[in-house]
């Protein structure tokens, strides 16, 4: 409920250096309180509560990937590579914030927030160059990656195989997922963990990840 209310409030002020998506904010008229998407308005608490209940009722599809010998080997790779420091079982996230490259954590922030001392080096654009950017990324849970795609904070890589391909670090790489506007190639940098594994280790690690 809080997230939805926050997003609606932020949408009413959305202006990215003069660019206003879909020209929703008008700024020159008073909001109509009865209109949930009017400038300054939002859905009622009752509507947001109903939305929250609906989201909580959703269940993931059954996982068809069985924990086999390959997955067992991959689980050992996952532990040996130190992945559990950030993607900590059973939620497979430590729920910490990780600073984006180039962002300086304020002195008093570590006392207020659970901030990791590690920056994984992913593209800082969304965290530092947008109106909603905070300077941080949240360590995501990797549960359910078997039915999700578009990996990386901006969804550059369509599959786990692409994510663990070291070629993505090259400037001539063509992202299999999303890429910045009006470019043909884009280096998907950061989060280099696992890129130096052997092909067999990567295959086993992916087998394990797909069981989560």
Same-domain pairing of 83 and 179: yes
76 and 33 co-located in one domain? no
Does residue 201 have a cis bond before it (omega within 30 degrees)? no
Average pLDDT over residues 39-43: 60
Which of 116, 85, 86, 121 is closest to 100 using CA atoms? 121
**96-110, 123-137, 171-185: range with lowest mean pLDDT:** 123-137
Whether residue 119 lies inside any domain: the answer is no
- Residues ≥6 apart with Cβ < 8 Å to 151: 145, 157, 158, 159, 160, 162, 163, 177
Q: What is the dihedral of CA 65, 68, 74, 80, to 10 degrees?
A: 130
pLDDT one-digit tens code per residue, 106-149: 989 999 999 998 899 999 988 988 777 889 999 999 999 999 88
Q: Do residues 146 and 75 both lie within one domain?
A: yes
Q: Are residues 74 and 175 in the same domain?
A: yes
Tell me, yes or no, whether 112 lies in a domain. no
Show the domain range for 180. Answer: 69-95+139-209
Q: Is residue 101 pLDDT above 50, yes or no? A: yes
Query: Distance (Å, rounded) from C-alpha 96 to C-alpha 75?
Result: 22
How many other CB atoms sit within 10 Å of the CB of residue 18?
5
pLDDT at residue 17 in the model: 67
Res 3: pLDDT: 77
Residues 39 and 73 placed together within one structural domain of the fold? no
Reduce the DSSP state of residue 96 to 3 states and report it: coil
Question: Rounded to whole angstroms, how far apart are CA atoms 162 and 9?
Answer: 36
Number of domains the chain is built from: 2
* 85 plus 143 within the same structural domain: yes
Select the highest-mean-pLDDT range: 14-18, 93-97, 106-110.
93-97
Same domain, 75 and 146: yes
Question: At 76, which CATH number?
Answer: 1.10.760
pTM: 0.79
- Examine the domain organization and report whether 45 and 143 are in the same domain: no
């Amino acid at each position: 409920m809080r997230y939805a209310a926050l997003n609606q409030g932020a949408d009413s002020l959305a202006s990215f250096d003069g660019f206003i998506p879909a020209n929703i904010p008008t700024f020159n008229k008073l909001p109509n309180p009865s209109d949930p998407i009017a400038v300054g308005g939002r859905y009622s608490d009752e509507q947001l509560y109903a939305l929250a209940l609906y989201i909580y009722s959703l269940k993931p599809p059954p996982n068809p990937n069985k924990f086999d010998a390959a997955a067992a080997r991959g689980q050992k790779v996952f532990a040996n590579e130190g992945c559990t420091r950030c993607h900590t079982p059973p939620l497979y996230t430590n729920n910490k914030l990780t600073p984006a490259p180039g962002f300086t954590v304020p002195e008093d922030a570590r006392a207020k927030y659970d901030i990791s001392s590690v920056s994984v080096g992913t593209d800082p654009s969304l965290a530092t160059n947008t109106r909603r950017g905070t300077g941080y990324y949240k360590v995501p849970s990797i549960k359910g990656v078997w039915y999700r795609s578009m990996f990386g904070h901006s969804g550059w890589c369509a599959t786990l195989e692409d994510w663990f391909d070291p070629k993505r670090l090259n400037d001539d790489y063509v992202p299999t997922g999303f890429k910045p506007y009006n470019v043909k190639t884009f280096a998907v940098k950061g989060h280099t963990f696992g890129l130096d594994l052997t092909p067999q280790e990567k295959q086993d690690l992916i087998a394990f990840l797909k069981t989560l």
